[in-house]
A and B are shown apart, each in its own frame.
Chain A
Amino acid sequence: MSPANTPAGRRSADETRAVETSAGEARSTDHEPAGGGRRWSTRLFRSELWLIFGRRRNWVGLAVLCSLPIVINVATKVSAPTGGGPDFFVNITSNGLFAALASLVLELPLFLPVAVAAISADAIAGEANLGTLRYLLAVPAGRTRLLAVKFGAIIVFALVATLLVAVVAAVLGLILFGGGPFTTLSGTAIPFGSGALRVLLACLYVTVMLAALGAVGLFVSTLTEQPIGATIAILVLALGSEIADAIPQLHAIHPYLLTHYWLSFGDLLRDPMAFDRTVPGLLSAAAYIAIFASAAWARFTGRDVAS
């Protein structure tokens, strides 16, 4: 505290000191903390989640994500697939749980990346565009902390979006086609509970893949003040990776592509589980997260906020 030497200034400083003293005595209770004292708090993180999940645009986005599992289930009910088609499709009629996996396979190339791109683009570019970034930083929210909170919220969103798709698909699938023992992709039967657990693992795997995209998105978001531009850039990166992954002549770079291991979650449904693609997938995602989260940090902590 710098006591001002005008009479009025001294009064203010004394008041502040009085607050500090009372806080010092009552630190254990939920009282005003000492001036400058910082507490560990999840308030900003919860505020961030509220910002994402309280926004109507994002509700619409999640509803769109949920529409696909409904379409898949209804279509399968109307006309049962006879082999061919995307992975897991033929299995839906034998066990409704497969509707969750079929939905993820269909949503991963475009719908889920669009959702994650929109949310991660908003992270910094959205706040910069509104001008709220300067006020958050003046509070001060702390640049590193803000970035961590933003990334955490992106991961939570990716998890919620993935689980929502899977749950809607699975519930509807179980209603329409029933459950019972789960036939793995290796042909063995495992109990329904184990099958559901495998599906949950697949969801977590997908979440990690989307978190890697979210890290890329967070970095892109620190480069611009235009969230729409950032969304498009992130999608171009994701879809560009998928396209490059489909060109056989580029096989040398395939293992390094962001999306290369995304659909490998099917390996988790073999008996026993296969890890020769899922582990590299997780390592690849971890590398992407480490590189792009660091880049986002380097960029954002050194950047002039002139919006």
Chain B
Amino acid sequence: MTLAVASSGLTKRFRSGQVAVDGVDLAVPAGSVYGFLGPNGSGKTTTIRLLLGLIRPTAGSHRLLDAPMPQAARDVLPRIGALVEGPAFHPYLSGRANLRRLDAADRTVSPSTMDTRIDAALERVGLLAAAGKRYRFFSLGMRQRLAIASALLRPRDLLILDEPTNGLDPQGTREVRSLLSALAAGGATVVLSTHLLSEVEQVCTHVGVMHLGRLVAQGELAALRAGAAPRIEIRTSRPDLAREELSRLGLTDAARQGDTVTAQLGDVAPEAIAPALVHADVPIVGLRVLTADLEEMFVELTGEGFDVTG
């Protein structure tokens, strides 16, 4: 399978000694929508900066659209639209003038099509009417939309978007989501860095999870999910007894919450549980097998801690 983004051992150690990105081997299949997940400070943005050649790796290498970086940057970066660490534009220029400036920096596009391309990009993000305003008067959502528009100034083969729905209202979030789907349907590969798991569940085909600078999981979303440990949930009027019985059956991590008991299913067949519980005099009100949802998977991989890991 062709990879739109492939890195091997990508590492960035800052002068402070902090290792922000540690031996990351990204594999983003062409045509996929790749959810790049990780808690704040896990190294997602630094990885994106490395990919775009804004910072140089301490070790490792990577390829974008099958071309070696940074050697092929001049040829390959025009085919990539990027949003890195939030929008950034000149505050005293209008939205449109800011897009003109970025377009002027691109030597591979025709100036004669600039206005049509800018209009099309603004239209796609719903900013056409407000584009004449100075950027300093834009709301956060409008700024975000303008940044997305700048990534769409020309047809792209790869989009690397760092938290594109940050600051958007629910409607804007939905629009961006459908925009991403449309881009993916058009054949572009999308790398979507985010911490919104619902976003990933709705649009992504592949997922990579960063934690403490390392890529701790990567693969097809469906496969990752299937690999995650399922749990069983039992509702009963005798929860304590149920918990004991589940533990006796060999299920681990049995926990009670109100009249509900859950446990890690492990190797035990789910159909064997109900008869065993009934046999042990546990009245069953409800029984459910839970496949791991993304949030649980995420927490399992990156830890419960709320603290930002420096």
Contacts and interface: CB of A to CB of B under 8 A. Distances in A.
Interface of A: 2-6, 8-13, 15-16, 19, 30-33, 35-39, 41, 43-44, 46-47, 50-51, 54-56, 130-132, 134-142, 146, 302, 304-306
Given A8-B185, A39-B107, A131-B85, A140 B157 contact: no
B89 interface: yes
B102 A136 contact: yes
Contact of B101 (A39, A47, A140, A306): A47
B107 A38 contact: yes
A298 to B, nearest CB: 14
A135 B111 contact: no
B89 to A, nearest CB: 6
A12 B90 contact: no
B112 A130 contact: no
B253 to A, nearest CB: 39
Contacts of A130: 88-91
B4 A4 contact: yes
Contacts of A56: 92
Interface residues on B, range: 35 or more
Given A47-B101, A138-B52, A138-B82, A3 B2 contact: yes
Taking each of A3, A9, A142, which has the highest tally of chain B beta carbons within 10 Å of its own beta carbon? A9
Nearest to A142: B74
A142 B105 CA distance: 9
B31 A4 contact: yes
A4 B30 contact: yes
B4 to A, nearest CB: 7
Contacts of B92: 55-56
What are the nearest 6 A-B pairs in CB distance? A12-B187, A131-B88, A4-B30, A6-B31, A2-B66, A9-B31
Contacts of A134: 49, 52, 54, 84-85, 88
Interface in B30-67: 30-32, 49, 52-56, 65-67
A37 B74 CA distance: 9
B89 A33 contact: no
B129 interface: no
A150 B104 CA distance: 14
A304 B56 contact: yes
A140 B78 contact: yes
A139 B78 contact: yes
Contact of B108 (A2, A37, A44): A37
A13 B150 contact: no
Contact of A5 (B1, B93, B103): B1
B85 A132 contact: no
Given A140-B53, A140-B105, 9 more contacts: A4-B31, A8-B185, A15-B155, A15-B187, A43-B104, A51-B93, A130-B90, A141-B106, A146-B105
Interface of B: 1-2, 4, 29-32, 49, 52-56, 65-67, 73-80, 82, 84-93, 100-113, 150, 155, 157, 184-189
Given A16-B155, A16-B157, A47-B104, A9 B30 contact: yes
Given A134-B88, A135-B84, A136-B102, A12 B188 contact: yes
B69 to A, nearest CB: 11
14 contacts: A4-B4, A5-B2, A8-B187, A9-B30, A15-B155, A30-B110, A46-B104, A47-B105, A51-B90, A131-B86, A131-B87, A135-B89, A136-B105, A141-B106
A37 to B, nearest CB: 6
B55 A304 contact: yes
Nearest to A41: B107
A47 B102 CA distance: 9
B81 to A, nearest CB: 9
A273 B100 CA distance: 47
Taking each of B29, B74, B79, B104, which has the highest tally of chain A beta carbons within 10 Å of its own beta carbon? B104
Contacts of B85: 131, 134
Contacts of A46: 104
Contacts of B54: 134, 137-138, 304-306
B110 A33 contact: yes
Taking each of A11, A43, A134, A138, which has the highest tally of chain B beta carbons within 10 Å of its own beta carbon? A138
Given A9-B30, A12-B188, A137-B54, A36 B108 contact: yes
B55 A305 contact: yes
Contacts of A31: 110
A135 B1 CA distance: 30
B30 A44 contact: no
A94 B87 CA distance: 58
Contact of A32 (B49, B103, B105, B109): B109
Contacts of B111: 41, 43
Given A142-B74, A304-B56, A33 B90 contact: no
Nearest to B86: A131
A51 B102 CA distance: 12
A54 B91 CA distance: 12
A140 B70 CA distance: 11
B107 A2 contact: no
Contacts of A139: 77-78, 102, 105-106
Contacts of B82: 135, 138
A141 to B, nearest CB: 4
B89 A11 contact: no
Taking each of A2, A41, A50, which has the highest tally of chain B beta carbons within 10 Å of its own beta carbon? A2
A11 B31 CA distance: 10
A6 B1 CA distance: 9
A245 B4 CA distance: 59
Contact of A13 (B86, B185, B187): B187
